[in-house]
Amino acid sequence: MLVRIIPELGLFALIMALGLAFIQALAPLAGVTLRRPLWMAFAEPMAWGQFAFLLVAYASLTASFLLDDFSVSYVANNSNSMLPWYYKLTAVWGGARRLGAAMEPDPQRLGLRRQPVLAQPAA
């Protein structure tokens, strides 16, 4: 039962961190504009709150890896049940490299052509 709740807890923590990021971006800026020092003081507590919620989200993703919760697509794509625990622990960050490569823009899809490399004459 607890295994089913872990990914939702991580998602909730990410949503809360996003909300705190919006508050951290807007409240101090409005405080400077309206000259309200209390609103400007929101920046540091919001940063600590973001850190705490992101830590909970990361811990829930790590727990999903360690407990083989394949209902999370990131876990299903980057892990299997036969991996030792230390490989599962490193797969939390190891899959991010493949994710970054997937988000890289494709020059051919954008209509860009690569310039041919001219051979250098031998000296």
Say what the pLDDT of residue 93 is: 85
Closest CA to 77 of 59, 63, 64: 64
Alpha carbon distance 117, 98 (integer Å): 28
Mean pLDDT over 92-120 rounds to 63
What are the residue ranges spanned by the domains of the chain?
A: 2-95
Say what the pLDDT of residue 49 is: 97
CB neighbours of residue 92 within 10 Å: 20
Helix or strand or coil: residue 73?
A: helix
pTM: 0.73
Contact 91, 79 (CB under 8 A): yes
Q: Is a pLDDT exceeding 90 seen at residue 119?
A: no
State what percent of residues in the chain have pLDDT above 90.
54
- What are 70-82's pLDDT values in tens digits? 999 889 888 889 9
What are the backbone dihedrals phi and psi of residue 49, each rounded to the nearest 5 degrees, phi first? -65, -40
- What are 39-51's pLDDT values in tens digits? 999 899 999 999 9
